[in-house]
């Protein structure tokens, strides 16, 4: 047996033999069958001297990978000699054990062994989590099968009975292991077994299902597990050792054994498999936690607690789900993006069932995207750190490539340098998160976020200059999303130049006029575009890792930034396109002559346009904004103009929770507010102030010098929230200032509002009054009162 078993096992470490073994699962099944046959022969030799006494009450069993049937060519053998403690004497048990262990050692097989009774197995499992997980997969090899079946049933019963107590222990052990061994999705030398998303996590996944706390996903995750086992097997063969870490020096050989074109292809497959296993494990852990909470005894009927999030979406048990009216779901890009946005904003997962219901049969988005889908997508990008897990769930479900087909080429693609800590696709999402933190520094946050998402879209196989190659691709995607031609051109330029600032800062003299001139030329001498490049550069470096944004690099970039800003012309004053306000007056005159406001609500693809015309008065802007907020709608954009003594306001709105506001209700509400009756706003005033999203930049209110000869121009930037415009308008009203005109816009969750303000008598504000108004507005922008 010694020669046969050792030779057959080590033959599998020969390259030719490995290639001839066929498909991975078939190869592993043959290996398991051979191992069991060899161990059974060894068992017969070991028990033969002990006669019939060793035919019952003692057995040999395998646990771990050998018990599961997925051991590699050079995996350890985990064996247990199980006995009942009565039928076979202690001396005979010890002799049988030695007769098995020593021949295996002599063959160079790494062995983890133990001798236990059924009671000892259950005791060890109750105190040792690793042992419990291993014995859940216990498999009979030879001897008394009833005894092994008893161990299996006893361990499984104990595991289910103590699941509530052991789940926290399991989670803590898993987290500690991940911290110790790293993550398959972000390591250039991943630990295939112990790392996050590795083979050990699949064991945990099966154990959760074995506890009857939650079913586990199948299909993709099983395929991912099989891919990792193939890599592990090839690694054993390539190195001639039972290694589990895929070192750089071994990757070419492993890729060749598996028939992959190169090691990048190999590592991309490992990363993708790790992502799928990790995602499945996290989802199953959530289900297990929900199952435990559901088992807690309650008095009375159990009804789901649903917290409305708008658009027919709810939060339930820590996940975003479809409401009762949409329970079955249907393919819907808009609702899917809104669900993702709600999950990312709330920092909770998007239910896998909801993803499946909304994406089943979903076709790729046509270009250009519908306006409401585009706006919701831009809002999704502006959700900060909550974007990362939600994007991961959407990507693994195949949804991201329906939106951006080019994403498939960068998914899970490794970056082979010590600066980058993430794969290309994950780096892009992390850059969006970093750009979110800097969106208040630019005039168009939506352009910054889209550029951040696409700046490395050219990092694909065979490309030498990813910035040059990726620029037109990014512009094409931006146009398909529905961004305007100017915005798409800005995205293209920023992607092409996204490395220029850091290269000039670190490789040229920041004080040299030629350096400054070259960088100004690179951004077409546009200060707004340079501010985008500055924010993108920092976001890109921070997302790459600490080595990419050191204090030295940051200082050089800041020095060059100051020089370029000084060289570029000041930002031009805001201007407004021709507004059709005068055309509204003809329709509004009959109502205005009767002393009533005029309102027209027109449904649009993304919600509605609300036109309001009324006699101009102090506080009208605040009242109009407050009345709309009280109806539960969201203002996406607004245009306010004054013609003679008539204010004409155009509001672009969405309605998350209810139908569109009725024209007669708005007319009645405005009339009441005009008489000084604040009844229509009481519901709004009773609401708690909405805190800004985590990580939001502080609100800003600044004067625009030279913005107008006849008014004081104030620019306001702030994270959007319900009722924000009314708060700004109330600040103007309390200060006794009139809003002559305004341009209100929301880009990716960030407002960029410009107001033309005059004193009550129509004059431009003097410097002290303007400074005081700025302070009043900033105080109003902070719902917590901490600014």
Model confidence over 356-369: pLDDT tens digits? Answer: 888 888 888 888 99
Rg (CA), the chain: 33
**Residue 620: pLDDT over 70:** yes
**What confidence tens digit (pLDDT) does each residue in 688-716 have?**
666 666 666 788 888 888 778 888 989 89
Quick check: 579 pLDDT over 80? no
Q: What is the pLDDT of residue 689?
A: 63
Tokens of 243: 């290694």
Q: Which residue has the tokens 């990014």?
A: 474
pLDDT in tens, 374-386: 999 999 999 999 9
Q: What is the pLDDT of residues 74-83, one digit of tens each?
A: 888 899 999 9
Residue 220, pLDDT score: 87
Token pair of 390 as six digits: 């939600």
Q: Are 606 and 372 in contact (CB under 8 A)?
A: yes
> What rounded mean pLDDT belongs to the chain?
85
Q: Is the pLDDT confidence value at 301 over 60?
A: no
Lowest mean per-residue pLDDT among 16-20, 75-79, 340-344: 16-20
Asked if the model's pLDDT at residue 11 lies above 50, the reply is: no
- Cβ-based neighbours of 109, under 8 Å, separated by 6 or more: 6, 9, 76, 77
Query: Does 394 have pLDDT greater than 90?
Result: yes
Query: For residue 655, is pLDDT > 70?
Result: yes
What is the token pair recorded at 178? Answer: 């991940």
pLDDT at 168: 86
SS3 for 183-227, per residue?
ECCCCCCCECCCCECCHHHHHHHHHHHHCCCCCCCCCHHHHHHHH
Q: Contact, 783 vs 696, CB < 8 A?
A: no
Enumerate domains of the chain plus CATH numbers: 2-159 (3.30.460.10), 165-295 (1.20.120.330), 305-403 (no CATH), 414-429+440-572 (no CATH), 585-781 (no CATH)
Picking from 470, 337, 319, the residue whose alpha carbon sits closest to that of residue 399 is: 337
CA geometry: angle 454, 459, 464, nearest 5 deg:
130
Element (H, E) at 607: strand 607-615
403: pLDDT confidence band, cut at 50, 70 and 90?
very high
pLDDT at 199: 92
Give yes or no for residue 787 having a pLDDT over 80: no
Average pLDDT of the segment spanning 4-32:
55
Model confidence band, residue 4 (pLDDT cutoffs 50, 70, 90) = very low
Tell me the average pLDDT across 76-91: 88
Average pLDDT over residues 430-435: 95
Q: pTM score, two decimals?
A: 0.81
CA distance 346 to 694: 10
Tell me if 80 sits within 8 A of 61, measured CB to CB: yes
Tell which wins on pLDDT, 215 or 279.
Answer: 279
* Residue with token string 């009162």: 785
Burial of residue 672, with CB atoms counted within 10 A of its CB: 0-12 exposed, 13-18 middle, 19 or more buried: middle
Cα separation, 203 vs 730, whole angstroms: 60
- State the Cα angle at 120 between 119 and 124, rounded to 5°: 120
pLDDT tops 80 at residue 92: yes
Check pLDDT > 80 for residue 138. Answer: yes
Question: For residue 75, what are its two tokens?
Answer: 């995996």
pLDDT at res. 578: 44
Q: Residue 393: which pLDDT band, with cuts at 50, 70 and 90? A: very high
Of the listed ranges 291-300, 312-321, 646-655, the least confidently predicted one is 291-300
User: Please, which residues bridge with residue 637 across strands?
Assistant: 652, 745
Q: Which residue has the higher pLDDT, 494 or 283?
A: 494
Contact in structure between 356 and 339 (CB atoms under 8 Å): no
| Residue 8, burial from CB neighbour count under 10 angstroms (0-12, 13-18, 19+) | middle
Instruction: Specify the range with the lowest mean pLDDT, choosing from 28-32, 129-133, 398-402, 435-439.
Output: 28-32
Cα torsion at 289, 293, 295, 299 (round to 10°)?
A: -170
Q: What share of the chain in percent tops pLDDT 90?
A: 32
């Amino acid at each position: 047996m010694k020669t046969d078993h050792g030779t057959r096992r080590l033959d599998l470490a020969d390259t030719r033999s490995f290639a001839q073994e066929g498909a991975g699962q078939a190869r592993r099944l043959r290996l398991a069958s051979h191992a069991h046959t060899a161990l059974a022969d060894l068992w017969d030799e070991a028990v033969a001297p002990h006669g019939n006494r060793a035919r019952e009450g003692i057995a040999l069993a395998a646990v771990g990978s050998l018990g599961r049937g997925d051991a590699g060519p050079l995996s350890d053998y985990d064996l247990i000699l199980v006995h009942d403690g009565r039928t076979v004497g202690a001396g005979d048990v010890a002799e049988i054990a030695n007769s098995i262990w020593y021949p295996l050692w002599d063959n160079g097989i790494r062995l983890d062994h133990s001798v236990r009774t059924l009671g000892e197995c259950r005791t060890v499992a109750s105190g040792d989590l690793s042992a419990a997980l291993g014995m859940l997969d216990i498999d009979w090899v030879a001897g008394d099968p009833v005894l092994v079946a008893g161990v299996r049933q006893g361990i499984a019963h104990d595991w289910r009975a103590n699941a509530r107590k052991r789940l926290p222990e399991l989670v803590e052990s898993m987290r500690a292991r991940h911290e110790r061994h790293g993550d398959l999705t972000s390591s250039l030398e991943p630990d295939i077994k112990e790392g996050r998303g590795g083979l050990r996590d699949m064991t945990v996944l099966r154990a959760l299902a074995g506890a009857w706390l939650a079913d586990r996903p199948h299909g993709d995750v099983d395929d991912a597990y099989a891919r990792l086992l193939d890599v592990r097997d090839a690694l054993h063969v390539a190195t001639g050792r039972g290694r589990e870490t895929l070192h750089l020096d071994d990757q070419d050989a492993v890729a060749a054994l598996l028939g992959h074109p190169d090691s990048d292809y190999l590592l991309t497959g490992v990363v993708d498999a790790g992502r799928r296993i990790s995602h499945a494990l996290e989802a199953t852990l959530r289900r297990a936690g929900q199952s435990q909470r559901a088992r807690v005894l309650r008095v009375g009927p159990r009804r789901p607690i649903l917290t409305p999030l708008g658009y027919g979406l709810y939060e339930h048990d820590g996940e975003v789900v479809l409401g009762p009216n949409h329970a079955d779901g249907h393919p819907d890009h808009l609702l899917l993006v809104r669900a993702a946005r709600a999950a990312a904003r709330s920092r909770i997962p998007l239910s896998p069932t909801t993803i499946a219901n909304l994406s089943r049969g979903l076709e790729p988005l046509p270009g250009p995207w519908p306006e409401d889908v585009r706006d919701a997508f831009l809002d999704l990008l502006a959700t900060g750190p909550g974007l990362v897990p939600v994007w991961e769930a959407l990507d693994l479900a195949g949804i991201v490539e329906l939106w951006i087909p080019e994403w498939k080429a960068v998914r899970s693609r490794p970056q082979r340098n010590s600066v980058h800590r993430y794969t290309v696709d994950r780096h892009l999402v992390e850059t969006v998160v970093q750009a979110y933190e800097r969106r208040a520094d630019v005039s168009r946050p939506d352009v910054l976020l889209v550029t951040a998402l696409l700046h490395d879209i050219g990092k694909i196989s065979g490309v030498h200059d990813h910035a040059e190659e990726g620029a037109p691709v990014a512009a094409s995607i931006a146009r398909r999303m529905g961004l305007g031609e100017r915005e798409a051109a800005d995205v293209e330029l920023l992607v092409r130049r996204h490395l220029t600032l850091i290269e000039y800062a670190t490789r040229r003299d920041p004080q040299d006029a030629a350096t400054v001139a070259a960088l100004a030329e690179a951004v077409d001498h546009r200060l707004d575009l340079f501010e985008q490049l500055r924010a993108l550069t920092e976001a890109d470096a921070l997302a790459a890792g600490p080595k990419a944004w050191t204090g030295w690099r940051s200082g050089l970039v800041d020095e060059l930034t100051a020089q370029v800003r000084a060289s570029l012309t000041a930002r031009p004053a805001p201007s407004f396109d021709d507004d059709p306000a005068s055309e509204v007056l003809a329709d509004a005159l009959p109502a205005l002559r009767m002393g009533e406001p005029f309102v027209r609500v027109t449904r649009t693809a993304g919600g509605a346009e609300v036109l309001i015309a009324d006699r101009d008065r102090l506080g009208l802007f605040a009242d109009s904004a407050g009345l709309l907020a009280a109806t539960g709608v969201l203002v996406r954009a607004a245009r306010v103009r004054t013609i003679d003594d008539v204010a004409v306001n155009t509001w672009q709105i969405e309605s998350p929770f209810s139908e569109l506001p009725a024209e007669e209700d708005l007319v009645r509400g405005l009339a009441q507010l005009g008489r000084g009756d604040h009844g229509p706003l009481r519901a709004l005033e009773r609401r708690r102030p909405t805190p800004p999203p985590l990580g939001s930049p502080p609100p800003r209110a600044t004067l625009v010098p030279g913005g107008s000869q006849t008014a004081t121009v104030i620019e306001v930037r702030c994270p959007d929230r319900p009722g924000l415009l009314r708060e700004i308008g109330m600040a103007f009203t309390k200060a006794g200032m009139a809003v002559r005109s305004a341009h209100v816009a929301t880009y990716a969750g960030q407002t960029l509002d410009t107001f033309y303000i005059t004193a009550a008598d129509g004059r431009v504000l003097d410097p002290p009054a303007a400074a005081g108004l700025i302070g009043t507005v900033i105080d109003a922008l902070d719902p917590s009162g901490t600014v």
